[in-house]
């Protein structure tokens, strides 16, 4: 019994020796570990530092691209991608012929002569998609340069699409009126068909440009907006050249009437749009 009592006293005395702390005190244990000679062992020296190390940092979430009103534009892009994919699946052969007819006059003539009721309906559906795609590009262009539009994404997209439809519809109306007044119905009908084909091409090209202008880094979005304007200007110039080939007979015989048409119908609307955008942006 005396031996057991002696061993117990030795254990108690050894546990309470000076310079040692109880094992259940984490702060004191940390302080003891700080006195080690290894400089690569890093431990917090105080309870506040330990809590600061253990506190999780905030998650760095990158915000999704949105309109100035805060509404995301991903749903508009998704809708446009689904629409262009559906049109390509349904009218693949017709769209391939339209793309090939851009630089092939014989293909354009063949496509114009062989158009039927079903093809006309498909072309009008593709043309409706052009109005929506161009309207959304105009919305991105306006918001990118600080032009205020009423409502959110959907309202602004509807307004800009109606603006595009109004401008193009006015041009079609003027061409129809000229065909009624002057004996140019055949040439103007072909020119209107060429305008529709080039508009369909523009609507398809604007889909990736809209995506780049929305989801590119902020420093590069303005460049993609200007690139979209450059692509549209190039397509428009090619369209004018194709119009010159259609009206080559009248260019030499009636140059005054041709210049009057070019200045009134083709150049004047562009100058008005430029004037409005320059005053709105500046």
Q: At what angle do helices 117-144 and 153-181 cross, to 10 degrees?
A: 130
Closest CA relative to residue 204, chosen from 271, 137, 250 = 137
Tokens 């340069």 sit on residue: 145
pLDDT of residue 125: 92
Range 48-60 average pLDDT: 48
Q: 128 pLDDT band (50/70/90 cuts)?
A: very high
For 165, list phi and psi in degrees, rounded to 5: -65, -40
Most confidently modeled range among 111-120, 155-164, 168-177, 255-264: 155-164
pLDDT of residue 149: 81
pLDDT of residue 19: 44
Average pLDDT, the chain: 75
Q: 47 pLDDT band (50/70/90 cuts)?
A: low
Q: Could you tell me what percentage of the chain is helix, strand and coil, using 3-state DSSP and rounding each to the nearest 5?
A: 75, 0, 25
Sign, Cα dihedral of 88, 94, 96, 102: negative
pLDDT digits (tens, 9 = 90+) for 206-244: 999 999 999 888 888 889 999 988 999 898 888 888 888
Q: Are 250 and 169 in contact (CB under 8 A)?
A: no
Q: 205 pLDDT band (50/70/90 cuts)?
A: very high
- DSSP string of 68-124? TTS-BSHHHHHHHHHHHHHHHHHSHHHHHHHHHTTS-HHHHHHHHHS--HHHHHHHH
pTM of the model: 0.70
pLDDT of residue 190: 87
6: left (phi over 0), alpha (psi -120 to 50) or beta: alpha
Range 194-217 average pLDDT: 91
Most confidently modeled range among 177-181, 189-193, 200-204: 200-204
Q: For the chain, what percent of residues have pLDDT higher than 70?
A: 67
Among 105-109, 139-143, 146-150, 271-275, name the one with the lowest average pLDDT.
271-275
Closest CA relative to residue 91, chosen from 122, 113, 120 = 122
Q: 280 pLDDT band (50/70/90 cuts)?
A: low
């Amino acid at each position: 019994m005396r031996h057991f009592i002696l061993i117990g006293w030795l254990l108690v005395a050894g546990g309470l020796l000076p310079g040692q702390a109880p094992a259940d005190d984490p702060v004191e244990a940390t302080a003891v570990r700080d006195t080690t000679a290894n400089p690569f062992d890093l431990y917090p020296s105080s309870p506040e530092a330990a809590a600061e190390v253990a506190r999780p940092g905030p998650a760095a979430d990158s915000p999704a691209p949105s309109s100035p009103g805060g509404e995301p534009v991903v749903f508009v892009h998704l809708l446009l991608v689904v629409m262009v994919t559906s049109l390509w699946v349904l009218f693949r052969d017709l769209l391939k012929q339209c793309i090939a007819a851009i630089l092939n006059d014989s293909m354009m003539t063949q496509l114009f002569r062989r158009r039927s009721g079903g093809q006309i309906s498909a072309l009008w559906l593709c043309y409706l998609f052009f109005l929506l795609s161009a309207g959304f590009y105009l919305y991105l262009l306006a918001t990118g340069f600080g032009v205020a539009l009423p409502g959110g994404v959907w309202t602004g997209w509807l307004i800009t699409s109606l603006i595009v439809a109004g401008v193009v519809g006015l041009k079609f109306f003027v061409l129809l009126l000229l065909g009624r007044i002057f004996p140019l119905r055949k040439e103007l009908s072909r020119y209107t068909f060429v305008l529709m084909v080039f508009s369909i091409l523009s609507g398809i090209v604007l889909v990736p440009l809209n995506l780049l202008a929305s989801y590119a880094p902020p420093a590069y979005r303005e460049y993609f907006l200007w690139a979209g304007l450059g692509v549209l200007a190039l397509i428009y110039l090619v369209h004018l050249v194709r119009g010159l080939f259609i009206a080559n007979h009248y260019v030499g015989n009636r140059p005054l009437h041709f210049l009057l048409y070019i200045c009134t119908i083709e150049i004047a609307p562009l100058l008005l749009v430029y004037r409005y955008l320059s005053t709105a942006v500046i």
